[in-house]
Amino acid sequence: MTSILILNGPNLNLLGTRQPDVYGKETLSDIEKLCKNKALKISIDVDFRQSNHEGILIDWIHASKDAFDGLIINAGAYTHTSIAIMDAIASVEIPTIELHLSDIKKRETFRHVSYIEFVAFDAIMGHGAAGYPMAIDRMVDHLNA
């Protein structure tokens, strides 16, 4: 069975109350439910995690090798700073989609830079919580192509 790891980075545990005008009203647990329902519908496995710590995200990426078929990552602010997360993804060579709730290319210029985009085959942004099931579909299409 296809198995996808969905990683969420710093501050995403605060979704629902964190700048809802930017990130939406759904909590991270609402989004997890969206992903689990989607996975059930299309008969795949999804493992959904969040950490505020760069090193933990990196450890999870390392452990994803041979354990998951694909990685969907909303790295939060680490998107714009973390060469280490980029290197971790490059090291395990797992098919990766970069995901954001907001459209980082239409926000402050410091958010236009993404290190994840160098190692991801696609990026989904600006669709709020709906972007998560969209990313799952995109990953499955990619894995089945």
The binding site for ligand DQA (CB under 6 A) comprises: 11, 74, 76-77, 79, 100-102, 104, 111
Q: Is the distance from CB of 113 to CB of 77 less than 8 angstroms?
A: no
In angstroms, what is the minimal distance from the CB of 27 to ligand DQA? 14
In angstroms, what is the minimal distance from the CB of 15 to ligand DQA? 9
Comparing CB distances to ligand DQA, the nearer of 77 and 83 is 77
128: exposed, middle or buried (C-beta count within 10 Å: 0-12, 13-18, 19+)?
middle
DSSP characters over 73-92: EE-GGGGGT-HHHHHHHHHH
In angstroms, what is the minimal distance from the CB of 1 to ligand DQA? 28
100 labelled catalytic: yes
112 labelled catalytic: no
Please identify which of the residues 53, 78, 100, 112 carries the catalytic annotation. 100
Q: Is the distance from CB of 102 to CB of 21 less than 8 angstroms?
A: no
* Catalytic residue set: 23, 100
